[in-house]
Structure 1
Amino acid sequence: MNHKIQQLDDIIRNSENIAFFTGAGISVASGIPDFRSIGGLNDEITKKGYSPEYILSSDYLESDPEGFIDFCHRYLLFADKKPNTVHQWIAELEKKHQSNGVITQNIDGLHSDAGSQNVDELHGTLNQFFCLHCQHKYTKHEVIQNHLRHCDKCGNPIRPDIVLYGEMLNQGTIFNALHKLKTADTLVVLGSSLIVQPAAGLISNFEGENLIIINKDTTPYDDDATLVINDDMVSAIDSLRKSQ
């Protein structure tokens, strides 16, 4: 076994309260592209004269709610994407009461789909939609299956329960994430560059013994980590699971 996988195995086995922090990399492994890598998206945005940030902003939603929900259907709702082995591993450790849950920067809802119960979705989730007028809620499945763009109760546009540019992060979610970090003995970062703020700045609140970073590229926290694995996370976790 690779010595880094062996070290990872040893740390996980000896940890009693693991927190996970995940970024776009874990979703890419499930076939969900990074926002700026979505096929054809940048071309369409350029034609409209929009920036990527504007297309996912509260300003755009307010000015063109119809265009916004159309964008969601065309580019954000991946009905065929499923959790991968990393999502499943995280959910398994929570089920075994060895983890206090996961903090994620992702909006795809795959952690919940994999069975994780204690998920702090810093930027919200595409698994839930709601009406802009009457607040009636819909699941992603209902929205996709029925091609919903308007509320079937009042007829107004609906939106996903995600945090748009120009909106504040949910303070309850931040509080829960901070509690996870402060009480964990091990923090495992997966697929995050740890650059995007304010989410990445949460990492500095970790006070436990072991910081593990599994990411293809380097991060600003590598020097502080107990273990850094610059490799494909699916391969790394598959190797770990085979050894257990």
Structure 2
Amino acid sequence: MGSIERLKDIIKINENIVFFGGAGVSTESGIPDFRSKEGLYNQHDIQFDKYNPEYLLSRECLYYNTKVFYEFYRQKMDTRSVEPNITHKVLAKLEEQGKLKAIITQNIDGLHQKAGSKSVFEIHGTTQRNYCVKCKHEFESDYIFKSEDKIPACTECGRPVRPDVVLYGEKLPKKEVEGAIKAIESADVLIIGGTSLSVYPTASFISYFRGGHIVVINKDELNIMLNAESDIVILDSLGNVFNQLDIK
């Protein structure tokens, strides 16, 4: 039996599946992978060339080089016109069918929710929420992108409004992390897709899995221990795989 057929069987007989996804989920919607050779960090405009790429999305840049931070953020992080792809849609359908219990995503674009998923743990935050750095007043998802000020200001206290994204130098959100780990601990099936598992501590979350099957869907092999009897590795794009699942 081929890997796709095995995956279909696993999905068919299990109703406690968790999906753990990385940048590869969103690249097929046209969002660059931060760490690929063609990724966001390598698409340098002249005004950003003198900065380390990680610095441009860091807490340090936000607070000490604020105008540069917001210029980069507006140019590179605006996903308002991006639509979910087949992977987002199939995962939403599996949740609707009661098979998928949670999505754990390293992406910040909000495409899982746009596709209809409800149980999503955004462990790196999201561009879909914004808040004031001082009074914590919340603002709509496109407030920063629509603001004509170089530094978008809070309408309540006048301080900068920032995206609810985990920047370099910041801790992961406790509630999201706890929810993600709990979901993985209780899952019967863990599907890992579109991630190199190179970002820590996020990558360590999979060590909490105690279920029966791990399914890895990625273009490149991952350096993780798998069980040849129960686990599956599919070296392909998520789009190719999810298009073959025939989930209606």
TM-score (norm. length: structure 1)? 0.91
Tell me if structure 1 keeps the 8 A contact 2:23–2:195. Answer: yes
Of 233, 236, 239, the match for 2:241: 236
* Separation in structure 2 between the aligned mates of residue 102 and residue 219 of structure 1, nearest angstrom: 20
Per the alignment, residue 9 of structure 1 pairs with 8
- Code of the residue aligned with 1:228 in structure 2: it is V
Per the alignment, residue 135 of structure 1 pairs with 136
Query: Deviations 1:127-163 (Å, cap 9, x if unpaired)?
Result: 1111222222122234434557222333322111011
Unpaired runs of at least 5, structure 2: none
My pick for the range that moved more, 169-178 or 206-215, is 169-178
Tell me if structure 2 keeps the 8 A contact 1:128–1:138. Answer: yes
Tell me if structure 2 keeps the 8 A contact 1:79–1:144. Answer: no
Tell me if structure 1 keeps the 8 A contact 2:56–2:68. Answer: no
Structure 1 residue matching 2:79: 3-state secondary structure: coil
* Separation in structure 2 between the aligned mates of residue 199 and residue 42 of structure 1, nearest angstrom: 27
Tell me if structure 2 keeps the 8 A contact 1:18–1:185. Answer: yes
How much does 1:167 deviate?
Answer: 0.7
Per the alignment, residue 193 of structure 2 pairs with 190
TM-score (norm. length: structure 2)? 0.90
Tell me if structure 2 keeps the 8 A contact 1:91–1:114. Answer: yes
How much does 1:58 deviate?
Answer: 0.8
My pick for the range that moved more, 87-96 or 134-143, is 134-143
Query: Deviations 1:175-217 (Å, cap 9, x if unpaired)?
Result: 1111101111000111011121110110111000010000001
Query: Aligned pair in 2 of structure 1 residues 43, 66: CA closer, same or farther (>3 Å)?
Result: closer
Q: Give 1 or 2: higher helix fraction.
A: 1
Query: Deviations 1:94-142 (Å, cap 9, x if unpaired)?
Result: 1222121100111111111111111111111111111222222122234
Tell me if structure 1 keeps the 8 A contact 2:107–2:124. Answer: yes
Tell me if structure 1 keeps the 8 A contact 2:78–2:145. Answer: yes
* Separation in structure 1 between the aligned mates of residue 14 and residue 160 of structure 2, nearest angstrom: 46
Per the alignment, residue 219 of structure 2 pairs with 216
Aligned alpha-carbon RMSD (Å):
2.0
Give aligned pairs, total: 241
- Code of the residue aligned with 2:16 in structure 1: it is N
Structure 1 residue matching 2:139: 3-state secondary structure: strand
Structure 2 residue matching 1:187: 3-state secondary structure: strand
- Code of the residue aligned with 1:130 in structure 2: it is Y
